[in-house]
């Protein structure tokens, strides 16, 4: 069975997340259906680098595809895309090592969360519109508490697939681009809802309602505050998945302009 590395982008608005589940339309499900149609009777295995939540988008999700085929990577790319809905797109297909695993071989992931300072007619699906004034310097001060290897147990919900709640955050920063505020975070991996709760905490800090010291306490003292502050999925993008010998980028930038 051949193995291929797929790089995928998608608008997650209409989907219940990446991972296949009963009774829900998912990104993984749509991709597997397209592959089965393309490869006819061949067995198809497809696994992603991470499970994005319902409504969350991706610019550079990675998956590995296992299938017996004589098709070249470019033909596979075109063949899958011809069978996908317009809000999912395979950007690249390349041959991979037979043991390449999209999730287990990843060294780091980066996410971007977009916050809009104004109402937007075109970007509503891709931002969190916040009417309150946000102090970006306060948000960055709070974000300093995220970096390093820390226990994020109060930034996630119980999940049978999570063997540990410790995550190493390599970079966490907030930047302004006109009417857009962008939170960029890079980590070893991320837990279920973790980035949305980190964002919610930073927004509350930007409102002046949470101090950096209070944010620091969320890693020491049991709390439900991050859960109560969970940001909506609309503004969140899986930006990139990094593998061996790939240089991690800490550049913060928006994906749409306002």
- Per-residue pLDDT, averaged over 234-253, amounts to 95
Does residue 258 belong to any structural domain of this protein? no
Query: Average pLDDT of the chain?
Result: 95
Supply the DSSP string of the chain, one letter for each residue.
-EEEEEEEEE-GGGSS-SS--TTS--HHHHHHHHHHHHHTTS--EEEES--PPTT-EEEEEEEEEEE-----HHHHHHHHHTTS-TTEEEEEEEE--TT--TTTT--EEEEEEEEESS--SSSGGG-EE--S---HHHHHHHHGGG-EEEE-GGGS---TT-S--EEEEEEEEEEEETTEEEEEEEES---TTHHHHHHHHHHHHHTTSS-HHHHHHTTTS--SHHHHTPPPGGGEEEEEEE-TTPPPP-----SS--
Question: Please, is 50 exposed, middle or buried when counting C-beta atoms within 10 Å of its C-beta (0-12, 13-18, 19+)?
Answer: buried
Please give the model's pTM, rounded to 2 decimal places: 0.95
Portion of the chain with pLDDT greater than 90, in percent: 90
170, 76: one domain? no
39, 87: one domain? yes
- 22 — pLDDT class (breaks 50, 70, 90): confident
Does residue 102 belong to any structural domain of this protein? no
**CATH number of the domain that residue 55 is part of:** 3.30.70.580
206, 147: one domain? yes
58, 147: one domain? no
Q: Which residues are catalytic?
A: 53
77, 142: one domain? no
Number of domains in the chain: 2
Residue 46 above 90 pLDDT?
yes
Of 5-14, 130-139, 158-167, 206-215, the range with the lowest mean pLDDT is 158-167
Does residue 251 belong to any structural domain of this protein? no
138, 34: one domain? no
235, 114: one domain? yes
CA atoms within 13 A on the CB side of 165: 14
pLDDT for the residue numbered 258: 75
Report which of 43, 77, 102, 38 is spatially closest to residue 241, judged by C-alpha positions.
102
Does residue 136 belong to any structural domain of this protein? yes
67, 116: one domain? no
Does residue 200 belong to any structural domain of this protein? yes
Residue 141 above 70 pLDDT?
yes
Domain endpoint, select from 27, 60, 95 = 95
Taken in order 60, 62, 67, 71, is the CA torsion positive or negative? positive
64, 134: one domain? no
219, 126: one domain? yes
Does residue 256 belong to any structural domain of this protein? no
27, 74: one domain? yes
Of 89-98, 103-112, 131-140, 161-170, the range with the lowest mean pLDDT is 161-170
Does residue 131 belong to any structural domain of this protein? yes
148, 60: one domain? no
Its domain, for residue 53, covers 2-95
**CATH number of the domain that residue 126 is part of:** 3.30.70.660
- 39 — pLDDT class (breaks 50, 70, 90): very high
Report which of 123, 103, 113, 106 is spatially closest to residue 197, judged by C-alpha positions.
113
Does residue 249 belong to any structural domain of this protein? no
């Amino acid at each position: 069975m051949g193995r291929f590395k797929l790089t995928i982008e998608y608008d997650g608005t209409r989907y219940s997340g990446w991972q296949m589940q009963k009774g829900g339309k998912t990104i993984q499900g749509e991709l597997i259906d397209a592959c089965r149609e393309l490869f006819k009777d061949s067995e198809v295995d497809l696994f992603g680098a991470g499970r994005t939540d319902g409504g969350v988008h991706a610019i550079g999700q990675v998956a590995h595809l296992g299938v017996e085929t004589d098709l070249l990577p470019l033909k596979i790319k075109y063949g899958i895309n011809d069978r996908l809905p317009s809000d999912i797109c395979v950007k690249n297909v390349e041959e991979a090592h037979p043991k390449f695993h999209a999730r287990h071989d990843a060294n780091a992931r980066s996410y971007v969360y977009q916050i809009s300072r104004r109402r937007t007619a075109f970007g509503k699906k891709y931002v969190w519109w916040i009417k309150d004034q946000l102090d970006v310097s306060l948000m960055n001060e709070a974000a300093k508490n995220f970096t390093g290897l820390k226990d994020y147990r109060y930034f996630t919900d119980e999940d049978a697939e999570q063997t540990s709640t410790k995550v190493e955050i390599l970079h966490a920063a907030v930047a302004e681009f006109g009417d857009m505020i962008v939170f960029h975070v890079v980590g070893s991996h991320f837990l279920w809802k973790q980035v949305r709760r980190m964002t919610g905490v930073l927004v509350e800090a930007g409102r002046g309602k949470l101090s950096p010291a209070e944010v620091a306490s969320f890693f020491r003292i049991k709390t439900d505050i991050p859960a109560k502050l969970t940001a909506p999925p609309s503004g969140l993008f899986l930006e990139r998945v990094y593998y061996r010998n790939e240089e991690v980028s800490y550049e913060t930038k928006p994906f749409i302009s306002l």
